[in-house]
Structure 1
Amino acid sequence: MTMPETEGPDLAARLIAENFSRTNGALQVGGLDLRALAEAHGTPLFVYDAATLRRSYRALAKAVEGFAGVDYSVKANPNPAVIRIFREEGAGAEIASGAEFAAALAAGVPPERILFAGPGKSDSDIARVVAGGIGEIHLENAEEITRVANAAPAGRPVRVAIRVNPGAGAQGGAMRMGGKPSPFGFDEEELELIVDRIEAEPRLHLCGLHLFAGTQGLSAVTLLAQWAYGLDLAARLGARTKRPLETIDLGGGLGIPYFAGDSALDLAGLRDGLAPLRARVAADPLLAPARIVLEPGRFLAGPAGLYVARVRAVKVSRGSRFVITDGGMHHHLAASGNLGQIVKRDYPVVAVVEEAGAERAPAAVVGPLCTPLDMLARAAPMPDLAAGDLVAVLQSGAYALTASPTGFLSHPSPSEVLVDGGRAKVIRPRAG
């Protein structure tokens, strides 16, 4: 049967129009033919477009200009070449491990522009980042207060912030990070107690607050409400310390459209809604000197990436079409629906070559692994395909390769390629 035009195909077409292009039906990335990249570097393959990375950063930075700076959350895509693009745009980095600290340094991020968050920091990672001159460590439990203090060099207190697990009033987004029992941060109701405990530790310098209420947020209204809530908490912290804050980290959590019916985050609405928040900061001497920062990852890196796989076989089983490829959940767990989805929905998956007006029909796009979980799409609208053709998963620049079980069934890991200025560069070679 022919698939009717739905929101799914419209989303994919919109994303291609915004970030890539087609020439004679073939997908182009930064002016390069995706087929040629697949031939040169093999499949499966991740391809990132530097121009789209820069465009995403500049659009957000412009929207929040005068209110907050924009840093990059390395966990979204820790390849140093990707981090370097954002560093060149002016971003600092948010890390969650010693290895991410090393990746950020390798990308040229100054250590004082790096902050370290995470609920289970190891002693070795704490020692590593303290010795490396990290800008700030975000404390998330009582044990970390002592452990970070013990790592402080004589006469040089470590700069720390309190990560707060907020109340229900700050909630929103596809995955909530607070408002309930959580390993992340100190509960809001014990804020003053924790402030007093940190203030009593001479080896620590309490400089700010970190709030991360949720992720994959597509509503500007919700994000603005969360940021206002964060400013309230920051004012409470300042009132307790009786000195101005130096940093206010309002987290990341800005989302991108993945599924049929998703709308892109309204940056104009975000910009227009910031006036009362700017006024609130300017009017409070405890908040006005602070550097306010957002630290998104997915929003900045996600749209720039494609995961490219080659078709190995096409079969029909009891009336359903299966497109079997050389790529799958071992490289892109999120696209398979096995990373945080309760109801599994399809990422935008497209044929790399598709003639204008070609009829499409639903197909399950599956990988080579011996598990029914290895399914990149359940009913993707696809033209006729055959062995040797290519498919691409859009929105694959974040939480893809390094968020996936790459060792499962011992298949090779894919190359990562960055396209910049009309040239392609391997930024992680194929292995295995």
Structure 2
Amino acid sequence: MTGYAELAKRFGTPSYVYDLDRVAAARRDLLAALPEQVELFYAAKANPHPELLRELRGGEGRRCRAEISSTGELAAVLGAGFPATDILYTGPGKTEGELTEALTAGVRLFSVESLGDLRNIGAVASRLGVVADCLLRVNSASASATSSIRMTGLPSQFGFDSETLPELRDRLLDVPGTEVAGAHFFPLSNAKDEDSLIGEFRHTIEVAARLQAELDVPFRFVDIGGGFAAPYAVTGNRPRYGALRAALEDSLDEHFPGWRGGEVRIACESGRYLAGDSGTLLVGVVNLKESRGRRFVILDGGINTFGGMSGLGRILPVSVRPYDEGAPYEQIASLVGPLCTPGDVLGRDVELPALAPGDTIAIPNAGAYGPTASLLMFLGRPAPTEIVVRGEELVSVSRIRHVRDYEPAQEL
């Protein structure tokens, strides 16, 4: 790949560099870990860059579908070539306008978070003269994995509490414009190891089968979620899941015996695993400072550039990869950005090589939850440049720009 130093010099910092070869490798690895019949959704929120979306959709053979949660993401995935029939629309706050746009575009598969959400979808679908297939998102009362980031089992705006679904059955099946097509689960994120991931999937499949029996509704589609792990803004490699395929096949054979023949379609979803290790964030050193015994490296990009998780304190500290792979780490300091807020911290107590103003550092595994998950408009600083490469080939260079549109005066 073109050297980071050369790219930083040519296009400036802060900059993201995305390598499409690594995106393709992640898609290939994850699809290889899943049974042939299992479909894979890419969560566009992880990185909706057009080049990454096109790469993840793929060409011939098994391709990713798209999971979205807004009309902005809808436009992005349609623009990248995903057909509307390959899209799953999710989220707890779907508005009438959003639903109208999605259904008009041809989207027919929706994840439903509540009875009210289902009725909203049905009202718009009925007005447009179509029927929406709806997956009941399930907030299961129990779980398998005891570690990782739990996404179920607690009071939440996401999904139906599993214990309430049987009593809601008749009302769920009686919403004009909709058909209950199956269930959607997302019980955890970033499983600590393959055993934890397999255990959670087995539990989810068992719950899905039990729910199908309790509701007495034949499921045509079951999305069992994700939880695939990947390093985020730290050094490391994506795990390979060598035992997952056989474990899923065994569990699905037991609980959904017709799945191999298409009696019920099974899907998984992933965001960070597919996009994360494709990206490297290049940030420039603006200043060095010491305060009361602590060192600070002040950068030209902070949580306005990489704030999706760093701003929530969930990835501190990040790690830094020096250009010279043999360069020793010579100091420990906090990496802070240029914003006028003490919350603009990318990492505390980070091991760093010797640095001086004008140097550039590289943060690895930063391909997910970057610019579009950051405080891009805060203080009016420009968005980072996004550089896309494929091996040695420079594919594109772009930057998100914000433009204020005024309503015509006569409409005020």
Question: TM-score higher than 0.5 here?
Answer: yes
1:224-373 alignment, distance < 5 Å: 224-240=198-214, 242=216, 244-258=218-232, 264-281=238-255, 283=257, 289-334=263-308, 337-339=310-312, 341=314, 345-351=316-322, 353-354=323-324, 356-373=326-343
2:381 to 381, 393, 411: 411
Whole-Å separation in 2 of the counterparts to 1:359 and 1:139: 49
Cα contact 1:281–1:287 (8 A) shared by 2: no
Structure-2 separation of matches of 1:396 and 1:142: 37
User: Quick one: distance in 2 between partners of 1:205 and 1:409?
Assistant: 46
Distance 1:240 1:251 in 2: 21
CA drift of 1:172 comes to: 4.8
Deviation of 1:334 after TM superposition, in Å, equals 4.0
2:76 & 2:232 partners in 1: Cα distance?
28
Q: Secondary structure at the match of 2:17?
A: strand
| 8 Å CA contact retained: 1:73, 1:93 | yes
Does structure 1 residue 388 correspond to structure 2 residue 365? no
- How has the CA–CA distance of structure 1 residues 333 and 397 changed in structure 2, closer, same or farther, with 3 Å as cutoff? same
Unmatched 5+ stretches in structure 1: 1-30
Aligned partner letter, 2:92: P
Residue matched to 1:182:
156
Question: Letter of the aligned partner of 2:231 in structure 1?
Answer: P
Shift of 1:232: 2.4
- CA distance, structure 2, for counterparts of residue 378 and residue 158 of structure 1: 48
Distance 2:114 2:184 in 1: 13
Please tell me the residue identity of whatever aligns with 2:346.
L
Gaps of 5+ in 2: 403-412
The CA RMSD over aligned residues, in Å, is 2.5
State percent identity of aligned pairs: 33
Work out whether residues 75 and 399 of structure 1, in 8 Å CA contact, stay in contact via their aligned partners in 2: yes
More displaced stretch, 76-85 vs 256-265: 256-265
**How many Å separate the matches in 1 of 2:176 and 2:36?**
34
Contact 1:164 1:209 in 2 (8 A): yes
Letter aligned with residue 382 of structure 2 = P
Which residue, out of 89, 100, 107, partners 1:127?
100
Q: Flag as ranges the 4+ runs of structure 1 deviating above 6 A.
A: 259-263
Instruction: Quote the Cα distance in structure 2 between the aligned partners of 1:429 and 1:338.
Output: 21
Which residue is 1:87 aligned to?
A: 57
Residue number in structure 2 paired with 1:142: 115
Distance 1:287 1:253 in 2: 26
Q: Secondary structure at the match of 1:147?
A: helix
Give the whole-Å Cα distance in 1 for the aligned partners of 2:398 and 2:160. Answer: 37
Secondary structure in 2 aligned to 1:267?
Answer: coil
Equivalent AA in structure 2 for residue 230 of structure 1: T
Contact 1:349 1:377 in 2 (8 A): no
In structure 2, do the counterparts of structure 1 residues 191 and 228 end up closer, same or farther at CA, with 3 Å as the change threshold?
farther
Q: 1:275 to 1:115 in 2, by over 3 A?
A: closer
Bigger shift: 141-150 or 214-223? 214-223
Amino acid corresponding to residue 364 of structure 1 in structure 2 = S
1:191-227 per-position Cα deviation (integer Å, ceiling 9, x unaligned): 2233322222242121111001121223222222222
Residue 196 in 1 paired to residue 167 in 2? no
Distance 2:111 2:350 in 1: 42
The answer (yes or no) to whether the contact 2:231–2:276 under 8 Å persists in 1 is no
Deviation at 1:188, TM superposition (A): 0.3
Deviation string for 1:89-119 (max 9, x for gaps)? 5110000111111111011001011001111
Cα pair distance change 1:340/1:180, threshold 3 Å: farther
Q: Secondary structure, in 3 states, of the residue corresponding to 1:426?
A: strand
1:36 aligned residue? 6
SS in 1 for 2:81: coil
Distance 1:35 1:417 in 2: 13
Structure 1 range deviating more: 168-177 or 102-111: 168-177
Residue 99 of structure 1: SS of its match in structure 2? helix
Looking at structure 2, the residues matched to 393 and 207 of structure 1 have their Cα atoms a distance apart, in angstroms, of 42
Structure 1 275/286 Cα, relative in aligned 2: closer, same or farther at 3 Å? closer
TM-score, normalising length: structure 2: 0.89
Report the residue type matching 1:118 in the other structure: G
Which TM-score applies when normalising by structure 1?
Answer: 0.85
Provide the C-alpha distance between the structure 1 equivalents of 2:249 and 2:259, rounded to a whole number of angstroms.
17
Which residue identity does 2:166 align to in structure 1? E
Q: Deviations over 1:370-421 (max 9, x none)?
A: 2222222212221111111111111211112111111122211111111125
Deviation at 1:422, TM superposition (A): 2.3
SS in 2 for 1:36: helix
CA distance in 2, matches of 1:195, 1:288: 25
Give yes or no for the alignment of 1:207 onto 2:178.
Answer: no
